[in-house]
Amino acid sequence: MPKDSTKPRRKAAEKSEKATRGGKAKKDPKAPKRAMSAYMFFSQDWRERIKAENPDAGFGEIGRLLGTKWKELDDKEKKPYIEQAAKDKTRAEDEKTAYDGSAKKTPTPASGDEEAGGDGGGGSE
């Protein structure tokens, strides 16, 4: 009687099998983008300047230099980026509510009670 058939499976084979079974849920490509922070707006604005001043700097070093520059700015200098972030936050919230609302409007076997109330909230605007 051969013992090869009763031999336990390798852990690597089990891991690869698990990955193909479940896996990570795929992100909806129509989902709205998240709001950017004030630092991210600053980073977009300053990245090219920092690269020009430090042509030999790598990706990590540029990030460190941007972080240092951001910390050196006073509130007056940060204000435009903070305002951009606030606008982007409202944009992201609006897109998210519209996206969530459209996701709820998918056809379901409902009795029609949701449609009778208009917005479903019961209040008036």
Indicate whether 57 belongs to any domain.
yes
Indicate whether 86 belongs to any domain.
yes
Total domains, the chain: 1
pLDDT in tens, 16-28: 555 556 678 888 8
Give me the pLDDT at residue 125, please.
Answer: 47
Give me the pLDDT at residue 124, please.
Answer: 52
Give me the pLDDT at residue 1, please.
Answer: 56
Indicate whether 59 belongs to any domain.
yes
Indicate whether 8 belongs to any domain.
no
Distances (CA, A) of 59 to 55, 62, 80: 11, 5, 25
Q: Measure the CA–CA gap between 81 and 106, rounded to whole angstroms.
A: 38
* CATH assignment of the domain containing 60: 1.10.30.10
Indicate whether 64 belongs to any domain.
yes
Q: Measure the CA–CA gap between 37 and 24, rounded to whole angstroms.
A: 27
Rounded to two decimals, the pTM is 0.61
Indicate whether 20 belongs to any domain.
no
Indicate whether 107 belongs to any domain.
no
**Ranges under pLDDT 50 in the chain:** 116-117, 125
Indicate whether 21 belongs to any domain.
no
CB contact burial 77-113 (16+ within 10 A = b; e otherwise): ebeebeebbeebeeeeeeeeeeeeeeeeeeeeeeeee
Residue 70: give the domain boundaries: 36-99
